[in-house]
């Protein structure tokens, strides 16, 4: 029996869309990329020609309204995610939107509520890729009692990505576009949430070390997203969490997630190659885990999205409920830093 045809329209053909989503969709039988709209007519035409996409549009509203499209892939900056997602769902389309989910928890909640009103449509967020390959192996270790009782979570995302203050302001340093997420906090916290209970309270401090940076035209503009973040968190069940995020940390530790339990420790180190370290009480040293091939996962976002549309599988990574959780966490960090007091989760609506 032939697979159900799924016709995809792309709003925003950015780097991740070009690198992952277009090839991912094209590898699936019965999936057609039928339309694209980008930030300008010129870039729209370039994307259509590059990927041999037959239809282009003057704006994203026209793509969303097109009856020839079944599903919308949103690859824009976060400032458009809420508006395009809700419009697409209301037009009867399935939606796969890039992370981060939105600019703030209010927009994320609006997206979740809209998806619940259109529950017959698939609503998925592109997941954090961190730890996807190791997910099944780690969750089985935890379920088997390898950690024992979780005591501490440590999340590190300290790099020199924005150390050079002579470079133009990045969109991630502009709160109007990027929202309340800071640096790699959202992508790391989402990955950590797969292994630990939900935080119930956060206490944070932040700093903008370089108050101004050049814009593309050379003029000085204000940076509105912190360069440095430190967070203390309480998790359901009593464990504590510690986060260090920085974009100006020369020779910093990079991106890591540590799980410390009463019986053992699990560490994920992300880089060119992800390393998974494990060790228990009595071991002389931690060891690099060798994950059996049948327990190693990976990137299958587009296949999962199409599988959910076809009723073959549920959305595993990442549904809107999970997205709202990490959006509330990043907003609580912002609110705590602004007020110099702890913030309880979930946030009051």
- What span, in angstroms and rounded, lies between the C-alpha atoms of 124 and 178? 19
Residue 74 Cα to chain centre, angstroms: 13
Q: How confident is the model at residue 174, as a pLDDT?
A: 75
Q: How far is CA 189 from CA 95, 193, 211, in A?
A: 23, 6, 26
Q: How confident is the model at residue 237, as a pLDDT?
A: 96
Listed as ranges, residues in the chain with pLDDT below 50 are none
Q: How confident is the model at residue 1, as a pLDDT?
A: 60
- What span, in angstroms and rounded, lies between the C-alpha atoms of 224 and 328? 19
Q: How confident is the model at residue 144, as a pLDDT?
A: 97
With tokens 């282009």, the residue in question is 56
Say which residues have a Cβ less than 8 Å from residue 194's Cβ, sequence separation at least 6: 131, 135, 139
Three-state SS for 173-199 is HCHHHHCCCCCCHHHHHHHHHCCCCCE
Q: How confident is the model at residue 349, as a pLDDT?
A: 65
- What span, in angstroms and rounded, lies between the C-alpha atoms of 285 and 102? 42
Q: How confident is the model at residue 219, as a pLDDT?
A: 83
Q: How confident is the model at residue 209, as a pLDDT?
A: 84
Closest among 257, 190, 259, 252 to 227, alpha carbons compared: 252
Domains and CATH numbers, the chain: 6-126+300-315 (3.40.50.720), 135-297 (3.30.360.10)
What does the pLDDT look like over 71-97, one tens digit per residue? 999 999 899 999 999 999 999 999 999
């Amino acid at each position: 029996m032939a697979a159900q045809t799924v016709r995809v329209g792309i709003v925003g053909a950015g780097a991740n869309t070009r690198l992952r989503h277009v090839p991912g969709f094209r590898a699936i039988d019965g999936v057609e990329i039928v339309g694209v709209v980008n930030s300008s007519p010129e870039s729209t035409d370039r994307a259509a020609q590059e990927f041999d996409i037959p239809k282009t549009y003057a704006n994203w509203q026209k793509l969303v309204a097109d009856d020839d499209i079944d599903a919308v892939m949103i690859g824009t900056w976060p400032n458009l995610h809420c508006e395009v997602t809700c419009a697409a769902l209301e037009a009867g389309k399935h939606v796969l939107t890039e992370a981060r989910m939105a600019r703030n928890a209010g927009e994320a909640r609006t997206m979740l509520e809209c998806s619940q009103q259109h529950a017959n449509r698939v609503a998925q967020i592109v997941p954090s890729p961190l730890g996807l390959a190791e997910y099944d192996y780690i969750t089985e270790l935890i379920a088997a009692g390898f950690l024992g009782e979780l005591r501490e979570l440590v999340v590190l995302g300290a790099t020199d990505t924005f150390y050079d203050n002579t470079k133009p302001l990045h969109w991630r340093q502009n709160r109007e576009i990027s929202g309340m997420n800071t640096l790699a906090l959202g992508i790391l916290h989402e990955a950590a949430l797969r292994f630990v209970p939900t935080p119930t309270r956060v206490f944070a401090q932040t700093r903008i070390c370089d108050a101004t940076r050049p814009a593309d035209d050379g003029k000085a503009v204000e940076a509105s997203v912190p360069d440095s973040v430190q967070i203390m968190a309480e998790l359901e069940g009593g464990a504590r969490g510690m986060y260090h995020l920085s974009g100006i940390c020369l020779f910093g530790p990079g991106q890591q997630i540590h799980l410390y339990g009463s019986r053992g420790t699990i560490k994920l180190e992300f880089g060119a190659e992800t390393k998974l370290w494990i060790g228990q009480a009595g071991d002389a040293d931690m060891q690099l885990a060798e994950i059996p091939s049948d327990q190693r996962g990976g990137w299958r976002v587009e296949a999962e999205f199409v599988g959910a549309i076809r009723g073959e599988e549920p959305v595993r990574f990442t549904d809107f409920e999970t997205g709202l959780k990490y959006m509330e966490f990043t907003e609580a960090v912002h609110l705590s830093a602004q007020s110099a007091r702890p913030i309880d989760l979930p946030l009051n609506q």
